[in-house]
Structure 1
Amino acid sequence: MKTARLILVAGATSLLLGVAACGAGANTTEVCNEAMKAFTDYSTKVGQAAGNLEGINSETQALATQLKGLAGKADGDLKSSLTKMADTWATLKIDPANPSAITEFATKTSEATQELGLACAG
């Protein structure tokens, strides 16, 4: 389960690096900064959850809710990216009986990193 935790934390960290490029209009910058904080908090909480899959799943759902709220404050590509991310995170669940879920999470995190980074930089 340490591997799962490392993949989750690495995925969330790579997402933070993409979000750090935020910087368009004032509203976009504010929403991007809030998204970055949400991911920073999420990464910390997932790291603290260690082998507690229910804790990780709970934090993942909480992040999905935050992203949905941020999407409501955003416009254009950023709104679209945050909505897509919220929908993705809402469906992610780590299940010990399904090891491929961890790989799926890492893949979706990488895709989200690129998309959100572009939306925030635009």
Structure 2
Amino acid sequence: MSIVRNSLAVVAASAVLALTSACGGADKAALCTEVTKAMTDYQGAMASAGTNFDGFNKASADLAAKLKELAGKADGDLQSALTKFGDSFGDLKIDPKDPAVATKVGDFAKKAAEATTALGNACV
């Protein structure tokens, strides 16, 4: 299950990095800063969860809710990117007994990477 945890950590770290370097326009800067904080909080929640996948699932659900809340404050490309990013975390449910969990995490990582790129571009 370390591949699952490592994949989630990479996605979160990539999002923080993309947002830190992309928070540009004054009108978007506050929202992008809130997204960066939410991603940093998610990393902390994942670290606290250890190997507890219920903790991972709760952290992902909480992040999805926060991203959707922030999407409601945005418009245009930023709103769309936040919605997609939130949806990707909302769809993430880790069941270590599921033999396809690595494939599902891989699919999530791809969707999240695409959403991270869109989010970084929208925050410029």
TM-score, length basis structure 2: 0.90
Q: Distance in 1 between matches of 2:117 and 2:41?
A: 20
1:62-88 CA-partner distances (Å, limit 9, x unpaired): 001000110111111101111121222
1:74-105 CA-partner distances (Å, limit 9, x unpaired): 11110111112122221111122132122122
Q: Distance in 1 between matches of 2:5 and 2:30?
A: 30
Q: Distance in 2 between matches of 1:74 and 1:16?
A: 18
Q: Is the 8 A contact 2:88 2:108 kept in 1?
A: no
Q: Distance in 2 between matches of 1:111 and 1:80?
A: 12
Name structure 1 gaps, 5 residues minimum: none
Identity over aligned pairs, percent: 44
1:105 aligns with 2:108: yes
Q: Which runs of 4+ in 1 moved over 4 A?
A: none
Q: Distance in 2 between matches of 1:75 and 1:67?
A: 13
Q: Is the 8 A contact 1:2 1:50 kept in 2?
A: no
Q: Is the 8 A contact 1:5 1:47 kept in 2?
A: no
Q: Which amino acid aligns with 2:26?
A: G
**Aligned residues: CA RMSD:** 1.2
TM-score, length basis structure 1: 0.91
1:59 aligns with 2:80: no
1:24 aligns with 2:25: yes
Aligned residues: 120
Q: Distance in 2 between matches of 1:86 and 1:115?
A: 12
1:18-42 CA-partner distances (Å, limit 9, x unpaired): 111111133x110000000000110
Q: Which amino acid aligns with 1:75?
A: D
Q: Is the 8 A contact 1:19 1:117 kept in 2?
A: yes
Name structure 2 gaps, 5 residues minimum: none
Q: Is the 8 A contact 2:19 2:123 kept in 1?
A: yes
